[in-house]
Amino acid sequence: MAKKEEHTKKTEQLKNYTDDAQGQPLTTRQGVKVNDTNNSLKAGPRGSTLLEDFLLREKITSFDHERIPERIVHARGSGAHGYFELYENQKQYSKAGIFNDTGRKTPVFARFSTVAGSKGSPDLARDVRGFAVKFYTEEGTWDLVGNNMPIFFIQDAMKFPDLIHSVKPEPNNEIPQAASAHDTFYDFISLTPETLHNHIWAMSDRAIPRSLRMMEGFGIHTYRLINDKGESHFVKFHWKPVLGVHSVTWDEAVKINGADADFHRRDLWEAIESGQYPEWELGFQIVPEADEHKYEFDLLDPTKLIPEEMVPVTIVGKMTLNRNPENFFAETEQVAFLPGNIVPGIDFSNDPLLQGRIFSYRDTQLSRLGSPNFHQIPINQPIRETHNNQRDGHMQTRIPKGQTAYFPNTLGGGCPHLSKIAEGAFSSYEERIDANKIRTRSESFIDFFSQPALFYRSLADWEKQHVADAYSFELGKCKQAHIKSRMLWMIEQINSDLAQKIANNLGMDIPKSIEQPINQAIGADSNVEDFQPGKAKNYLEKSPALSQSNTKFDSIATRQIAVLVGDGFAMKDFEAMQNVLEKEKAVIKLIGPHGGTIKCDTGMEHHVDASISTTESVLFDAVYIPGGKKSIDKIMSNGKYLKFINEALKHCKAIAADSEAVMLLDKTYVKDFKDDKAICINCDPKDFVKAIAKHRNWERMKKTDAIPV
Ligand code: HDE
């Protein structure tokens, strides 16, 4: 599909900064035309090289300084442009233009990331995913910098460096990369029980998404919406993916990291290039001021979610990502998100994690991007004009006119002048606060087991199994028995069955008690007893919204279907399947024994998308094998094809085969799964579509352990 031209104000603005070298001569950075960029200036053909060579110096100096520090967290990321549209006016809650004007297309730039790994780490690490959106609104830029899980590991910004130091590669040997399965992380987690809720999410399938386009996003913190009467409502922001929430298995994740370390980045890029634009709906969970203390948890505690069954999510609009960046560095790398970027109509709550973030992000950009002028980098520029008396600094690219750079002034005509709130100026919500200055943690935050227990109870059996497997893998990689033992005790507070399964896998016993205090994230002069969690409370038996088994299963758009073929494959079978799959917008890839082209049984030539030796089963959502005796004979003699099918089977994917291809299935483990709902033999292609739309047949998991791939 052709790329649609986009005309958001941000796109128009960015066009002024793009360079296009098509048809242009190579010049120096000063504009001088160059006739040789291959050889340095020398004293004679064999040197030495002359200091005078300004062309060499310019080229090499620029190269020497190409790198900027990678983000301390969220270094590995992928971004895209798009827009946000509001469904219905939300003026009862917020006076923000973006939530008032249904006619607007607010430009956005979104960046998705892993947290722990370096910039070049693989996409399928078990990790939280960042979900950051910059809204270029008419009233200034609003950044909603969230994650794909609705809670965070810690309750106070003061603990962030500790958390990140524990999960990053260990400082003595810089091992392991992009992995939480190591002693320092579990040392910290086991001593800091506030982390357990986010941690169990990280052990769930949410930490290994099938696609960035198939994960939820959450603002996490409670924010405020402010209406034009100055009234405040608490709000939690949710992003719901139109394609539903889907994940891969851990075995796939590990293999994808080797087969295509850019799996998520490529998937996002290709979906947008092909016109299958990723979409998320934005939702509000609104809590009136009067209900602030109504719940069993504190709204200011970022380790707690508000179950959707207690406060429903109201969908208010949709974000569509429809344009890939022109240049990764200029846009995705240089984009600077700041939770402190808010606009009138939106305000902060006193969540102590959020409060610290408001400071941290601006600070980090100073060392990452090198100057307080980072807002002038094109991707970071607001779409409305900016005027103030902040001046100078490294890389100032504007030329502020006039004699004055202070306020108040007469010499500059009093400009830039102030605006009243009624004219759109920001003013902070006038919350009444009457308190002592105190360094402590609120006692209302000290419940660490209830919500992880709710999360686990709400999962389907197959999800629970994945969680048990993940804990077993992670703790199995830890070396220190005392850390694993402490973790087992903690997990038992969440769920005894889960703890027992993990203990069995570790070959350990769950300890009856552990060293006190359980919670060590307190001050030395605090009364320790006041900060120890009690048993898990059960204020809601289950929250179905937390389980991926209740997500959407209605589309196979952009799903990658591997069609395994050899020369002479049956065109009739293939065509019937192709027509139905393509109508549903699935992406069909022909996997041949060799690259180039391949002939079907009618003699027609087909382009081979990948030869079997260059691709892997884990990169696809489903497998189809058309008949054709010659083709099947060829495929059957190649073990990689058999492995391909067995792996798809093990990962619970839909597999379809027609006519002679059934003989091939009999050479694989599929022969033992013929009554499986997602094995489609000589079936109506529409049934295959239904099986793919289900994402996986997780029922199959009960029998797949025996498959040796
Ligand atoms: Fe971040 N975080 N964070 N974080 N975070 C950064 O800012 C920080 C937290 C999140 O695509 C850094 O520009 C502190 C919660 C995302 O560019 C840094 C605390 C949530 C991204 C930083 C948190 C996030 C970051 C590193 C505890 C979900 C990537 C580079 C108080 C609501 C944004 C940068 C992008 C990035 C600090 C906790 C999400 C160092 C101090 C909670 C999605 O400033």
Kindly report, residue by residue over 399-445, the tens digit of the pLDDT.
999 999 999 999 999 999 999 999 999 999 999 999 999 999 999 99
∠ CA 193-196-197, rounded to 5° = 130
Residues within a 6 A CB radius of ligand 1: 71-74, 77, 111, 113, 130, 132, 145-147, 152, 157, 160, 220, 302, 336-337, 353, 356-357, 360-361, 364
Q: Whose CA is nearest to atom 31 of ligand 1?
A: 157
Residue of 7, 38, 65, 74 marked catalytic: 74
Q: Which residue has the tokens 């851990």?
A: 250
Q: In CATH terms, is domain 77-380 a member of 3.10.290.20?
A: no
pLDDT recorded at residue 117 = 98
How far apart CA 329 and CA 304 sit, in angstroms, is 36
Q: 129: which strand partners?
A: 114
Tell me the pLDDT band of 3, cut-offs 50, 70 and 90: very low
Selection from 100, 97, 79, 98 nearest residue 89 by Cα: 100
* Helical ranges in 477-589 per DSSP H: 481-494, 496-506, 571-583
CA of 146 to the centre of ligand 1 (A): 8
Q: What is the share, in percent, of the chain residues with pLDDT greater than 70?
A: 99
Q: CA dihedral in degrees (247, 251, 253, 256; nearest 10)? A: -130
Whether 227 is catalytic: no
Complex confidence, ipTM: 0.98
The pLDDT tens digits of the residues spanning 205-251 come to 999 999 999 999 999 999 999 999 999 999 999 999 999 999 999 99
Distance CA 485, CA 468 (A): 15
Q: Is residue 71 part of an annotated ligand binding site?
A: yes
How many Cα atoms sit within 13 Å of 79 on the Cβ side? 25
Q: Would you state the pLDDT for residue 1? A: 39
Dist. CA 374–CA 353, nearest whole Å: 24
pLDDT tens for 445-470 read: 999 999 999 999 999 999 999 999 99
For residue 338, how far is its CA from the centre of ligand 1 (angstroms)? 8
Check the CA dihedral 591-597-599-600 and report its sign. positive
Taking only the tens place, the pLDDT of each residue in 295-337 is: 999 999 999 999 999 999 999 999 999 999 999 999 999 999 9
Across 16-23, average pLDDT = 96
CATH superfamily of 553-704: Class I glutamine amidotransferase (GATase) domain (3.40.50.880)
Nearest atom in ligand 1 to 147's CA: 28
Residue 2 has pLDDT above 50, yes or no: no
Please give the CATH number for the structural domain made up of 457-519: 1.20.1370.20
User: What pLDDT score does 7 carry?
Assistant: 73
Q: Which atom of ligand 1 is nearest to the CA of 335?
A: 17
Alpha helix segments (H runs only) across 178-287: 183-191, 196-202, 250-259, 263-273
Separation CA 641–CA 569 (nearest Å) = 15
Q: Which two tokens stand for residue 247?
A: 């994940």
Q: Is the dihedral of CA 107, 113, 118, 122 positive or negative?
A: negative
Distance between CA atoms of residues 92 and 420, nearest Å = 21
Ligand 1 atom having least distance to the Cα of 356: 31
Domain coordinates of the chain in residue numbers?
Answer: 77-380, 457-519, 553-704
Rounded to the nearest integer, the mean pLDDT of the chain is 97
At 284, is the secondary structure helix, strand, or coil? strand
Residue 7 annotated as catalytic: no
Is the per-residue pLDDT at 619 higher than 70? yes
